[in-house]
Amino acid sequence: QVQLVESGGGVVQPGRSLRLSCAASGFTFSDFAMHWVRQAPGKGLEWLAVISYRGDFKYYADSVKGRFTISRDNSKNTLYVQMNSLRDDDMGVYYCAREKTGGGVRLDYWGQGTLVTVSS
Amino acid sequence: EIVLMQSPGTLSLSPGERATLSCRASQSVSSNYLAWYEQKPGQAPRLLIYGASTRATGIPDRFSGSGSGTHFTLTISRLEPEDFAVYYCHQYSGSPPYTFGQGTKVEIK
């Protein structure tokens, strides 16, 4: 069955960096575009970034552009997001999600999320 | 950037009642690129509807989606106890960013 498992969250000081990972299994990872979505405490969902199945196209939300970098290693079935210059408002649960096309684009599988806390 | 506005912010209903949730876009969204998700406390979002009106695998037929252009609707025909949750619309139309609405909370009256 399809599984997405995020890791790498934790407590980090403002201005520091963190890299999150999303390990995929149960499907051909290299066939699918992948997304990162986050949720600040008590708030709604915020789309952050997408990477194409080959990794050659990447797009970002304005809130993270220039600070976050999405990447993937198809040989390891793993999605990443490198987060630099972290700010208080970057705190929240970070989800990876698989993009499915055909009949309409959607995020059909999500990980359980990993919590990032930005605090001095 | 396409902004999605969901209304109402909170919907207070009883089990068995009908829920109608609205999602309005600041620009036209292709129906192929509008989806709805359900999220319960402490859980990841779950895909309900894609292509504005197609139910995802395993989603009960009490959930339905409709709409086009700038106005989309999620309807839950008869609320079950497990349907009390937060619902988000999401668009992928045109260029990124692929924005979410702010959510509608369906709570027990």
Comparing alpha-carbon positions, the chain A residue that sits nearest to B38 is: A45
Residues 46-105 of B with CB under 8 A from A: 46-47, 50-52, 54, 56, 86, 88, 90, 92, 95-103
pLDDT, one tens digit per residue, over B61-108 is: 999 999 999 999 999 999 999 999 999 999 988 778 899 999 999 999
- Measured between alpha carbons, how far is B38 from A114 in angstroms, rounded to an integer? 19
Mean pLDDT value of segment A37-46: 97
- Measured between alpha carbons, how far is A76 from B38 in angstroms, rounded to an integer? 30
Nearest to A104 among B54, B96, B98 (CB): B54
Strands A18-25 and A3-7: antiparallel
Residue B94 has a pLDDT of 73
Residue B96 has a pLDDT of 84
Interface contact A105-B31, CB threshold 8 A:
no
Mean pLDDT value of segment A36-59: 96
pLDDT, one tens digit per residue, over B4-45 is: 999 999 999 999 999 999 999 999 998 889 999 999 999 999
Residue A103: pLDDT over 90: no
Structure tokens at A99: 């993009």
CA distance A57 to chain B (A): 12
Confidence of residue A85 (pLDDT cuts 50, 70, 90): very high
Residue A62 has a pLDDT of 94
Interface contact A104-B90, CB threshold 8 A:
no
Query: Could you give phi then psi for residue A27, rounded to 5 degrees?
Result: -155, 170
Mean pLDDT value of segment A80-85: 98
Counting residues of chain A whose pLDDT is more than 70, the rounded percentage is: 100
- Measured between alpha carbons, how far is A102 from A106 in angstroms, rounded to an integer? 9
Interface contact A45-B32, CB threshold 8 A:
no
CA distance B60 to chain A (A): 16
A66 contact partners, CB below 8 Å, separation of at least 6: none
Mean pLDDT score of chain A: 96
Which residues from A are below 8 Å from B when comparing CB atoms?
Answer: 35, 37, 44-47, 50, 59-62, 95, 100, 103-108, 110-113
Residue A120 has a pLDDT of 87
Residue A46: its chain B contacts at CB < 8 A? Answer: 100
Residue A104 has a pLDDT of 85
- Measured between alpha carbons, how far is B2 from B64 in angstroms, rounded to an integer? 23
Interface contact A107-B37, CB threshold 8 A:
yes
